[in-house]
Amino acid sequence: MNKQIERRTIVSTLTAFLVGLGIGMMLMDLILYFRKKDGILEIDRSDPNRYVYRFNVGDLDKLEKKKHISLEVNPNADLSQN
């Protein structure tokens, strides 16, 4: 009987841990999704031989002080110089 109680305790503890881990991962995804972006990475794919990239950043002074930045990606930008 003691072994059944121990087994139930282990299973319920493991289940609670996994549920908590899943909820934590979903909350982290939501936080990162709605977090303010520091700028935009634009990618011009009009020339298949050469992609052109451009960073658009709002405030360089604030950006210089950060160790990590978060960028919104625009994969269909038109950066042609015509």
**Which uninterrupted H or E stretch holds 44?**
strand 39-44
Quick one: 65 and 41 in the same domain? Answer: yes
Task: Reply yes or no on whether the pLDDT at 30 is more than 60.
Answer: yes
Strands (E), the chain: 39-44, 52-57, 71-74
**Averaged over 38-44, what is the pLDDT?**
90
Quick one: 26 and 47 in the same domain? Answer: no
pLDDT level of residue 61 (50, 70, 90 thresholds): confident
| Residue-number span of the structural domain to which 82 is assigned | 36-82
**Beta partners for 41?**
55, 73
What integer pLDDT is reported at residue 26 of this predicted model? 97
Q: How far apart are CA 13 and CA 30, in angstroms?
A: 26
Quick one: 43 and 76 in the same domain? Answer: yes
Quick one: 49 and 80 in the same domain? Answer: yes
**Averaged over 10-28, what is the pLDDT?**
95
Quick one: 56 and 79 in the same domain? Answer: yes
* Average pLDDT, rounded, for the chain: 87
